[in-house]
Structure 1
Amino acid sequence: MTPSQESTRDGAAPPVSPPAYTLWQLVLYFIRLGALGFGGPVALAGYMRRDLVEGRAWITDGDYKEGLALAQLAPGPLAAQLAIYLGYVHYRILGATLVGIAFVLPSFFMVVVLGWAYVHFGGLTWMQAVFYGVSAAVIGIIAISGYKLTVKSVGKDKLLWAIYLVLAAVTVITESEIAWLFLAAGLLAWFRRAPPRWLKSGHLSALVAVSVPTGVTLGTLDWPLLSRIGLFFAKAGAFVFGSGLAIVPFLYGGVVTDFHWLDDKQFVDAVAVAMITPGPVVITVGFIGYLVAGLPGACVAALATFLPCYLFTIIPAPYFKKYGKLPGILAFVDGVTAAAVGAIAGAVIVIARRTIVDVPTLLLAVATVLLLLRFKKLSEPMVVLGAAVIGLAVFPLLN
Structure 2
Amino acid sequence: MRLTDAPAPASVTFWQAFRFWLRLGFVSFGGPAGQIAILHEELVVRRRWLSERRFLHALNYCMVLPGPEAQQLATYIGWLMHRTWGGIVAGALFVLPSLAILIGLSWVYVAFGQVPWVAGVFYGIKPAVAAIVLQAAHRIGSRALRNRVLWAIAAASFIGIAVLRLPFPLILALAAAAGALGGRMAPDVFMAGGGHGSAGTDIGPTVIDDDGPRAEHTVFRWPRLLAVLGVVLGLWLAPMAWMVAELGWAHTYTQMGWFFTKAAWMTFGGAYAVLPYVVQGAVEHFHWLSPLQMMDGLALGETTPGPLIMVVAFVGYVGAHTQALLGADAPFLAGALGAALVTWFTFLPSFLFILAGGPLVESSRHEVRLTAPLTAITAAVVGVILNLALFFGVHVLWPQGFGHGLQDALGRLDLPAAALSVAAAVALFRYKRSVMQVIGGAALAGLALRLGGMA
Identity %: 31
SS at match of 1:59: coil
Partner residue of 1:374 out of 416, 430, 446: 430
State how far apart, in whole Å, the 2-side matches of 1:379 and 1:20 are: 36
The answer as to whether partners of 1:164 and 1:338 remain within 8 angstroms in 2 is yes
Partner residue of 2:351 out of 299, 310, 320: 310
Shift in CA distance, 126/307, structure 1 to aligned 2, threshold 3 Å: same
State how far apart, in whole Å, the 1-side matches of 2:382 and 2:350 are: 19
The answer as to whether partners of 2:25 and 2:98 remain within 8 angstroms in 1 is yes
1:385 aligns with 2:440: yes
* Number of the residue aligned with 1:5: none
* Number of the residue aligned with 1:395: 450
* Number of the residue aligned with 1:96: 87
**Equivalent residues in 2 for 1:49-198 (5 A)?**
49-156=40-147, 158-173=148-163, 177-194=167-184
Shift in CA distance, 24/191, structure 1 to aligned 2, threshold 3 Å: farther
1:333 aligns with 2:374: yes
State how far apart, in whole Å, the 2-side matches of 1:375 and 1:292 are: 37
Q: CA deviation at 1:328?
A: 9.3
State how far apart, in whole Å, the 2-side matches of 1:325 and 1:188 are: 27
State how far apart, in whole Å, the 1-side matches of 2:38 and 2:251 are: 41
The one-letter code sitting in structure 2 at the alignment partner of 1:342 is G
The answer as to whether partners of 1:175 and 1:347 remain within 8 angstroms in 2 is no
* Number of the residue aligned with 1:14: none
State how far apart, in whole Å, the 2-side matches of 1:94 and 1:361 are: 48
- 1:102-151 deviation per Cα after TM superposition (whole angstroms, max 9, x unaligned): 11111111110011111111221122111111111111111111101001
Partner residue of 1:298 out of 304, 319, 339: 339
What TM-score do the two structures reach when normalised by structure 2?
0.74
Q: CA deviation at 1:323?
A: 5.2
Partner residue of 2:389 out of 319, 326, 348: 348
- 1:141-176 deviation per Cα after TM superposition (whole angstroms, max 9, x unaligned): 1111110100111222x3322221111112222567
The answer as to whether partners of 2:102 and 2:313 remain within 8 angstroms in 1 is yes
The answer as to whether partners of 2:264 and 2:347 remain within 8 angstroms in 1 is yes
> Which moved further from structure 2: 174-183 or 343-352?
174-183
The answer as to whether partners of 2:261 and 2:345 remain within 8 angstroms in 1 is yes
Q: CA RMSD in A?
A: 2.2
Q: CA deviation at 1:324?
A: 7.7
Shift in CA distance, 178/324, structure 1 to aligned 2, threshold 3 Å: farther
- May I ask how many residue pairs the two structures share in their alignment? 356
The answer as to whether partners of 1:140 and 1:366 remain within 8 angstroms in 2 is yes
The one-letter code sitting in structure 1 at the alignment partner of 2:428 is L
State how far apart, in whole Å, the 1-side matches of 2:92 and 2:443 are: 30
The answer as to whether partners of 2:60 and 2:368 remain within 8 angstroms in 1 is no
Shift in CA distance, 244/252, structure 1 to aligned 2, threshold 3 Å: same
The answer as to whether partners of 2:31 and 2:307 remain within 8 angstroms in 1 is yes
Looking at CA atoms only, which structure, 1 or 2, has the larger radius of gyration? 2
State how far apart, in whole Å, the 2-side matches of 1:398 and 1:144 are: 27
1:287 aligns with 2:309: no
1:28 aligns with 2:19: yes
Shift in CA distance, 50/92, structure 1 to aligned 2, threshold 3 Å: same
State how far apart, in whole Å, the 1-side matches of 2:356 and 2:155 are: 33
- 1:285-327 deviation per Cα after TM superposition (whole angstroms, max 9, x unaligned): 1111000111111011111111122212222111125558779
Structure 1 or 2: larger helix share? 1
SS at match of 1:315: helix
Runs of 4+ in structure 1 off by over 6 angstroms are 324-328
- 1:2-46 deviation per Cα after TM superposition (whole angstroms, max 9, x unaligned): xxxxxxxxxxxxxxx997212222232222222122211011101
The answer as to whether partners of 1:177 and 1:343 remain within 8 angstroms in 2 is no
Note the residue ranges of structure 2 that are not aligned, 5 or more in a row. Answer: 1-7, 186-247, 321-334, 399-413
State how far apart, in whole Å, the 1-side matches of 2:166 and 2:393 are: 14
Q: CA deviation at 1:249?
A: 1.2
The one-letter code sitting in structure 1 at the alignment partner of 2:257 is G
Note the residue ranges of structure 1 that are not aligned, 5 or more in a row. Answer: 1-16, 196-220
SS at match of 1:277: coil
